[in-house]
Structure 1
C-alpha cells in the first residue's frame, strides 16, 4: 500500500475490466482512502456511470471530476477496421 501512496499521481487503468467482489475491493478502497485529499488518482473504466455502484459502492466520487467519453473504442479501432475490409 505504501508503495502506491508515494506517487503524486496514480493512474489505475481499466478498473472493473474483471469483476470485483465486494470483499476483494477492500484493499482498493484502503488505497483510495490513504490517498484521499492528499494525492491525485485517475481511474479509467468502461463501466457505464449508472452501474458504478455495482463496482465502486459509491465510495470514490467525493471530490471527483467525472469525464464521460463517448465514442468508438480506440483499442478496438484496428480490429474493427480489419472486419470492415473483409
Structure 2
C-alpha cells in the first residue's frame, strides 16, 4: 500500500486537531520550519498543505505574523 503523501498527512492531522478542539479558533499553528522538522519533509509539501487548508477555510495566514486557526463559518471541504 503506498504511503500517504506528506501534504495530505499534514492536512489530516491539522483538520483532526481543529475538529476535536485540540486547536481552537485563533490558535497559532507551528511555523513552516517547525512543521518541516516534525514531518521530516521539505517546505514544498508543508506549504502545499497550508495553502490547501487556507483554501478550505480552516486556517488563515498573515505575512510575517504566522498561520492561525480560522473562526468556523461552516464545514471544511474534503480534499482528495
TM-score by structure 1 length? 0.30
Question: Which one has a bigger Cα radius of gyration?
Answer: 1
